[in-house]
Structure 1
């Protein structure tokens, strides 16, 4: 029992199960793009002598925005990855990543307080992936899939209630509004989440319930984006057939030896994310 408790404490630090306040988000490393891109003398959005037309881009949000699951981590606080969708978009000729304060475990409140202030006022494109931690993503994964406990259903019900009563929509709307206040002229792109599990799933009894909850969560996030003139990017279709339990999964299954990655996209999954965002980012 003591061993299990110690393991879960370790997992909590990595997976965001321990509450992270706004100060933690504010103190996170802000990872930016490359200094100069090939063929783009001077780099920077409109700066330098090369006449570049790069759009300055910032990415805020939770672990899915940071790139957790893709490995190639740039630091071990927020687990931002060199293979997450922000870095993949940074490789595009017309985009330049100027801030990546996204952090594993971040809620909408933490994005507003600790990440949005790190977005440069010159940014013209901002992506936002958030909402999963507001409904207890990590607690659901812990209680329903890592070590199944009697708290599983109550944890799911709590998250479902926050979606049904409009709390999540209001929270995400507040995050979008905070971004708009910081960069009034920027295009804001809000993403949803992939369905984690391929169905039917013989290994995980709660897989279908969590997928249903993810669909409802995405609908709530989309409503917040639409009400605040942001663009919503739905990734459910892009990940269809690639959930945990499929023959070619783009979501990492649970592994005690690589617990940071569990229930997050693989590097290939983040390529799918970047492809869908690219269509909307302009």
Structure 2
């Protein structure tokens, strides 16, 4: 089926998504904060790594001198809730596994006790998938998602293994928690201008595959996998109370909003940290 000429809206969204998801906006330097632990409490030295789903894109209230990091993301919320001894936050919008390896491992040390990360979605081409599926035909969407599925089962496992191994090497005493991505969509009726149910279902199926592969590689690395899908169930794009932003969010499109980080990601992390 021939491609239609790109519209101004598609070009704008693709450029903005690429800026947030496809490239690192600025060099990822560790943003550190510390609070005093309660007397007698075990010291927690926490480092939050990863991509835009860790930095908090979609939550708003960004530190614009960084990679769109937000204090409304799950990592700073967890750090504040647990009164950690130290907290470093080098997660960066747009990060792929190579960016974690090259730019984010500096704060890790033998003193680090907890590391969290979301990574892998950008390696699989998240920005291009979403712009293709939003603005092209169903056949184009299915083709692009199938390409990503092949990448997820063949190339991505090795990249995840290398990333987790590097974290282990730099922070051998830390507990590593790998958080997954939610399904983005509800698949019922969503208005005439929304993606078709076929497109939304196809993207959700790819999210399930990514979760399965990531969980498997996390387990192989001795890490804990925190599955966020059940926490976001009923709150995807097209829900009456969505925790994921649609295309109207522009650079925040298809990211959790502040409620998604607080009521989706934070409880998922709390469930595995106790």
TM bucket (normalised to shorter chain) is: 0.7 to 0.9
Query: What do residues 198-253 of structure 1 show as CA deviations (whole Å, max 9, x unaligned)?
Result: 11254212110000000000000000011111000001111111100011111111
Q: Is the 8 A contact 1:32 1:99 kept in 2?
A: yes
Tell me the distance in 2 between the aligned counterparts of 1:221 and 1:178.
Answer: 16
- Calculate the aligned-residue CA RMSD, in Å: 2.4
Query: Where does residue 265 of structure 2 map in the other structure?
Result: 273
The 1-side partners of 2:104 and 2:269 are apart by 20
Partner of 1:207: 200
Shift of 1:77: 4.5
Task: Say whether the 8 Å CA contact 1:60–1:102 is kept in structure 2.
Answer: yes
| Structure 2 match to 1:217 | 210
The CA distance in 1 between the partners of 2:109 and 2:180, in whole Å, is 24
How many residue pairs match? The answer is 262
CA contact 2:52–2:93 (8 Å) conserved in 1: yes
Does the 8 Å CA contact 2:14/2:127 hold for their aligned counterparts? Answer: no
Contact 2:51 2:94 in 1 (8 A): yes
Structure 2: gaps (5+ residues)? 1-5
Note the residue ranges of structure 1 that are not aligned, 5 or more in a row. Answer: 37-42
Could you list the per-position Cα deviations for residues 96-129 of structure 1 after superposition, in whole angstroms to 9, with x for gaps in the alignment? 4521111111111211121123334421000011
Separation of aligned partners in 2, 1:189 and 1:213: 22
The 5-angstrom pairing of residues 1-282 of structure 1 reads 3=8, 7-8=12-13, 10-12=15-17, 14-17=19-22, 19-20=23-24, 27-33=27-33, 35-36=34-35, 43=36, 53-75=42-64, 77-145=66-134, 147-148=135-136, 151-165=140-154, 167-202=155-190, 203-205=194-196, 206-255=199-248, 258-271=249-262, 272-282=264-274
Contact 2:96–2:122 (Cα < 8 Å) also in 1:
yes
Matched-pair contact (CA < 8 Å) for 2:13–2:250: no
Distance (Å, rounded) in 2 between the aligned partners of 1:83 and 1:139: 26
Rounded to whole Å, the distance in 1 between the matches of 2:185 and 2:7 is 31
Q: TM-score, normalised by structure 1?
A: 0.84
DSSP 3-state at the match of 1:190: strand
Please report how far the alpha carbon of residue 3 of structure 1 lies from its aligned counterpart in structure 2 after TM superposition: 4.9
- Please, what TM-score do these two structures have when normalized by structure 2? 0.87
